[in-house]
Amino acid sequence: MTAVAVVQDGGPGVVVGCVLVAVFSCCYVVTAVAGDRKATRVFWWSLGAQAVLFLAALPFARANAFFLATVVVSCLVPQLTGRAAVRVVLGAGLAAAVVPWVVPSWQSGPGWTQAVALVFTALMVYAFAEAIRRTGRWSRRARKCSGSPPRPSGPGSRATCTTCSATRSPRSP
């Protein structure tokens, strides 16, 4: 969508704009692979490069450059805590809606399409990442568990396994 906007806009910056979008796409692949391989330094450098390339593409793709911001924010939010992720998503969504409207040379109204796409995509990525994270924690605990939780100390008490949090109630006679 962003590359199409660069080409449709025409002008002398078409080649530069398309190169920026192509390099952005390559950085995205590096970010995804680095994230999968837990290569933290490479992940953050390539994500930072994506952010810079998004900013550089703004004059060429205008409002549609915010589709690149959707990719940046979607890569960023799983790395953040809940409140910080929501703040980043809402701030980026607000920017996607307002910036196209306030830049007079873009002759555009509010970027509702870009804002909705950004917010929806980023929140869905965050929700899936959180679900995977929680499932991963649960399965790691279950694999580490050496067996059953300890026996309760007395009548009416419960014992909790320190590894997997399973509980055991006392047996009735």
Number of structural domains in the chain = 1
Burial of 108 (0-12, 13-18, 19+ CB in 10 A): middle
Place of tokens 């300890």: 150
Give residue 67's domain range.
2-144
Mean pLDDT of the chain: 84
In a domain, 79, yes or no: yes
In a domain, 152, yes or no: no
In a domain, 49, yes or no: yes
In a domain, 71, yes or no: yes
111 pLDDT tier (thresholds 50, 70, 90): very high
Taking a C-beta distance cutoff of 8 angstroms, is the pair 30, 78 a contact?
Answer: no
Query: Is pLDDT above 50 for 116?
Result: yes
Q: Provide the H-helix boundaries in the chain.
A: 2-9, 14-36, 40-61, 66-76, 82-102, 112-144
- Give the C-alpha separation, 137 to 139, whole Å: 6
pTM of the predicted structure, to 2 decimals: 0.74
pLDDT value for 68:
96
pLDDT tens digit sequence for 148-173: 555 656 666 666 665 565 655 555 44
